[in-house]
Every structure is written in structure tokens, then in C-alpha cells.
């Protein structure tokens, strides 16, 4: 936010900048008004064409977490549904990483779905592996070419994936 404010001052040197009121990051359930920002984060983090609008119909209180700084979406995490507790996407807005936002979203998803195993696939060279390991997820399969159909061939992310499971 400091960067944004500094750029504003450079662009409009005469303008008066209002004082910044700091706010905590809040963790809320997905709502329709979040979708444009959520899709932007998911397209930049994974691939274009991802559409999570359906999540509004499948138990969003249990299956979706949106991290907000004021009205800015800074992260999002999704399960397929409360029945199928598979993590489809977990992403944090660029520039907001390493602030424990992913950790907090994962914590909320896990605690909102007690007594159920949680599974996911993660690219083999993704540092998020460390995050999942810390929560107790264990690898149960290594799948060669899992992301072949999705990732850009130029992408540095490994096309191979681990399937991880958190046993409850
Ligand atoms: C992976 C991602 C969700 C992490 O978000 P984050 O909010 O920065 O993560 P946290 O701050 O909660 O970090 C938790 C831990 O993850 C690991 N980690 C996260 N990003 C890392 C990085 N770039 N390099 C090394 N470790 C990293 C670290 O173990 C970190 O622990 P630490 O804080 O003790 O160092 C974020 O970088 C992202 O959106 N990446 C693109 C999308 C993606 O790959 N999602 C996961 C696929 S399933």
C-alpha cells in the first residue's frame, strides 16, 4: 500500500493524500462481489479460464475463504465442496506474500471442515509444499505430467505433482 501511495504522490504532486487508516486482514466467505478480484488472482497465479462462481452454490461457508485488506482481495482458498474436501486453489495476491496469509487461509479451511481428510495436488517444485508439510499433509502419490494440459510449456513450475493428504 505504501508503493501505491508513493506512486499516487508522484503522479499527482498537487493532490492532497488522505491519511492512511490501517486495517487488519479479515478472512471471510466468498461473495459475488469478490469474484472479479478472485478470478484475477487465480488467472495470474495458475492459468486463464478458471471460474469459481459455482462455489457460491456449494457450501461457501465451509468451502471458500477470501482474505481481505479493506476492500482489496489479497488471497483466496477453495475446496471442491464440503463433501469433497479437495483443495482446488490457494493463492495470495502478488506483493502480499510471506505475510502468513496462505497459512491463515489454510488454517480456516481445515478448522471449518473437522473430521474429514483434506487432499490436494501441488506442483513438485512449488514452495507451498513446505506450507502443507507444516500442517501435516503427507505425500501419497507422485504423478508425472499432471499439469501438462494446464501449465504453459514455458512455465518454470514442474508439470509433475504430488498428491497430498491430511488425515484427520
Ligand atoms: C504459495 C503461496 C500460496 C504462499 O502464500 P503466502 O501467504 O506467501 O504463504 P505464507 O506467508 O503463509 O508462508 C507459509 C510458508 O510457505 C512457504 N513459502 C511460501 N512462499 C515461499 C517461497 N516463495 N519460497 C519458499 N517458501 C515459501 C514457507 O515455508 C512459509 O513459511 P515461513 O513463513 O516460515 O517462511 C503464494 O506464494 C502463492 O499464491 N503462490 C502462487 C499460487 C500457488 O502456487 N499456490 C499453491 C498451489 S496449491
Q: Are 93 and 69 in contact (CB under 8 A)?
A: no
DSSP string covering 52-98? -GGGGTS-HHHHEEEEEETTEEEEEEEES-SSS-EEEEEEE-TT-TT
Residue 54 sits in the same domain as residue 12: yes
Residues 6+ apart with CB under 8 A from 86: 79, 80, 118, 119, 120
**Rounded distance from Cα 83 to ligand 1 centre (Å):** 26
Residue 108 sits in the same domain as residue 135: no
Residue 88 sits in the same domain as residue 140: no
**Rounded distance from Cα 92 to ligand 1 centre (Å):** 8
**Rounded distance from Cα 38 to ligand 1 centre (Å):** 18
* Residue 11 lies in domain: 1-115
CATH number for 21: 3.40.630.30
From 79, 96, 102, the mutation candidate for ligand 1 (largest count of ligand atoms within 8 A of CB) is 102
Distance of alpha carbon 143 from its chain centroid, rounded? 22
105 CA closest ligand 1 atom index: 12
Q: How many domains does the chain have?
A: 2
Residue 81 sits in the same domain as residue 127: no
- Which residue's CA is minimally distant from atom 14 of ligand 1? 131
Residue 97 sits in the same domain as residue 126: no
Of the chain, the percentage scoring pLDDT greater than 70 comes to: 100
Number of alpha carbons in the 13 Å side-chain half-sphere of residue 105:
31
116-135 pLDDT, tens per residue? 999 999 999 999 999 999 99
48-107 pLDDT, tens per residue? 999 999 999 999 999 999 999 999 999 999 999 999 999 999 999 999 999 999 999 999
Residue 83 sits in the same domain as residue 149: no
Residues with CB under 6 A from ligand 1: 45, 90-92, 97-103, 120, 122, 126-128, 130-131
Amino acid at each position: 500500500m505504501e508503493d501505491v501511495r508513493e506512486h499516487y504522490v508522484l503522479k499527482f504532486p498537487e493532490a492532497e493524500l488522505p491519511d492512511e487508516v490501517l486495517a487488519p486482514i479479515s478472512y471471510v466467505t466468498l461473495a459475488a462481489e469478490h469474484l472479479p478480484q478472485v478470478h484475477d488472482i487465480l488467472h495470474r497465479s495458475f492459468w486463464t479460464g478458471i471460474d469459481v462462481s459455482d462455489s457460491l452454490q456449494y457450501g461457501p461457508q465451509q468451502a471458500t475463504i477470501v482474505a481481505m485488506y479493506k476492500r482489496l482481495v489479497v488471497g483466496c482458498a477453495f475446496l471442491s465442496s464440503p463433501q469433497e474436501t479437495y483443495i482446488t486453489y490457494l493463492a495470495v495476491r502478488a506483493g502480499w506474500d510471506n505475510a502468513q496469509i496462505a497459512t491463515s487461509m489454510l488454517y480456516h479451511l481445515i478448522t471449518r471442515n473437522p473430521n474429514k481428510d483434506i487432499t490436494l495436488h501441488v506442483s513438485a517444485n512449488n514452495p507451498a509444499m513446505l506450507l502443507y508439510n507444516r500442517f501435516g499433509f503427507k505425500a501419497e502419490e507422485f504423478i508425472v505430467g499432471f499439469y501438462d494440459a494446464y501449465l504453459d510449456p514455458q512455465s518454470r513450475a514442474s508439470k509433475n505433482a504430488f498428491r497430498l493428504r491430511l488425515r484427520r
